[in-house]
């Protein structure tokens, strides 16, 4: 679809991949609503991005809460009118802890942001896109972790949440076949972002901010050494929207990922 002049909402847009997606969409000529739980950071990011010919605004959202998603959508429509593109991107880590030791609040947190955040986006952003009858697109951020559980990383809860995002996206693509709304599932490999410190944004109703410095050190080191620039991921998303590409892999070898997902490596 043609992105120029369309309106997009991006969740988790204050940092990392969401910021990269918002930047690429703004550069492609979209009106961009940058939505994030970190109010000050997202306002700063939107201010930095808004320049000549860029129509960008910031809104606070907590994707775990339906009312907050509805309020952000209302604000997006108030400012820009019709919504065309929704990037359900906000996500948090749950790495370095064995399943049996993950506290209840952290299960709620990873499921709340990574799965419910996407479900709320499907339940509310999608009808807003469908109602005007113009072209539209939904992008859900999964991960290569949505196809494989890497041994030794103890990232089972995170991986589970990303398998769910892949599955929701596949089902959505089936349901929207033949409509004017496309679907992409974004599956990045390592990207150099702030995700290792994701528990800093644990909402108060899920136990509040948390430092898991020892748990997520390994992840931080891996991303700092092998992670790609989030702006490259943003460009991949713009390309996937323009070309209606469903599986949008970035910095991962799709054939390897899919082979792992079919169980060849699981039986070892
Ligand atoms: N960094 C990687 O290597 C990588 C790889 C594959 C997939 N991903 C996925 O990419 C997405 C973005 O992560 P990132 O790496 O850019 O991390 P990041 O921490 O840099 O950015 C995530 C953003 O989401 C926001 N957020 C967290 N909880 C929220 C909530 N409840 N409501 C609204 N916003 C919230 C944060 O404030 C932050 O700005 C996530 O879904 C993540 O799982 C990341």
Among 116, 125, 158, 163, which one carries the catalytic annotation? 158
What is the 3-state composition of the chain as percent helix, strand, coil, each rounded to the nearest 5? 50, 15, 35
Q: What is the pLDDT of residue 213?
A: 65
Residue 94 has pLDDT above 50, yes or no: yes
Residue 193 corresponds to which tokens in the numbers above? 């972002």
Contacts of 106 by beta carbon, 8 Å cutoff, 6+ apart = 94, 97, 157, 199, 207
- Kindly state the average pLDDT of the residues 80-102: 95
Atom of ligand 1 nearest to the CA of 13: 39
**Closest Cα to atom 42, ligand 1: which residue?**
91
Count CA within 13 A, CB hemisphere, residue 37: 19
If you measure from the C-alpha of residue 141 to the centroid of ligand 1, how many angstroms do you get, rounded to a whole number? 9
Is residue 163 part of the annotated active site? The answer reads no
User: Of the residues 18, 119, 207, which should be mutated to test ligand 1's pocket, given the most ligand atoms within 8 Å of the CB?
Assistant: 18
Kindly report the average pLDDT of the chain as a whole number. 92
Phi, psi for residue 80 in degrees, rounded to 5 = -120, -5
Residue 265: the pLDDT is 44
Neighbours of 123 (CB within 10 A): 13
**pLDDT above 70: percentage of residues in the chain:** 92
Spatial strand order in the sheet of 247-250: 55-60, 31-36, 7-11, 85-88, 136-141, 181-188, 247-250
- In the chain, the domains with their CATH numbers are 7-261 (3.40.50.720)
pLDDT (tens digit per residue) in 148-158: 988 888 999 99
- pLDDT 10s digits, 174-226: 999 999 999 999 999 999 999 998 988 889 999 898 877 666 787 888 898 89
What is the distance between the terminal CA atoms of the chain, rounded to a whole angstrom? 43
- Say if residues 258 and 195 touch (Cβ distance below 8 Å): no
The pLDDT-based confidence of 268 (bands split at 50, 70, 90) is very low
pLDDT at 267: 37
| Nearest Cα residue to atom 2 of ligand 1 | 191
Distance CA 188, CA 140 (A): 11
Do 193 and 15 touch, CB atoms closer than 8 A? yes
53-66 confidence digits (pLDDT tens)? 679 999 999 999 99
Strand intervals (E) in 122-193: 136-141, 181-188
Pocket test for ligand 1, best of 64, 157, 198, 249 (most atoms within 8 A of CB): 198
């Amino acid at each position: 679809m043609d992105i120029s002049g369309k309106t997009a909402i991006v969740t988790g847009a204050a940092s990392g991949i969401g910021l990269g997606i918002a930047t690429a969409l703004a550069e492609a000529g979209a009106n961009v609503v940058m939505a994030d739980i970190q109010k000050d950071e997202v306002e700063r990011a939107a201010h930095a991005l808004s320049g000549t010919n860029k129509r960008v605004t910031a809104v606070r959202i907590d994707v775990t809460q339906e009312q907050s998603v509805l309020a952000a959508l209302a604000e997006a429509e108030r400012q820009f009118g019709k919504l065309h593109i929704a990037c359900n991107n906000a996500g948090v880590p749950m790495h370095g802890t064995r399943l049996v030791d993950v506290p209840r609040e952290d299960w709620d947190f990873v499921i709340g942001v990574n799965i419910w955040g996407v479900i709320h986006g499907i339940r509310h952003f999608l009808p807003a896109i469908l109602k005007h009858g113009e072209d539209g697109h939904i992008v859900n951020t999964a991960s290569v972790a949505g196809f494989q559980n890497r041994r030794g990383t103890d990232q089972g809860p995170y991986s589970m949440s990303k398998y769910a995002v892949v599955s929701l996206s596949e089902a959505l693509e089936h349901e929207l076949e033949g409509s004017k709304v496309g679907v992409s599932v974004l599956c990045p490999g390592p990207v150099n972002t702030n995700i290792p410190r994701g528990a800093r944004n644990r909402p108060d109703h899920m136990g509040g901010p948390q430092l898991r410095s020892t748990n997520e050190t390994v992840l931080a080191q891996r991303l700092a050494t092998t992670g790609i620039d989030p702006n490259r991921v943003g460009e991949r998303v713009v390309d996937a929207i323009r070309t209606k590409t469903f599986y949008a892999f970035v910095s991962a070898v799709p054939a390897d990922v899919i082979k792992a997902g079919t169980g060849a490596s699981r039986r070892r």
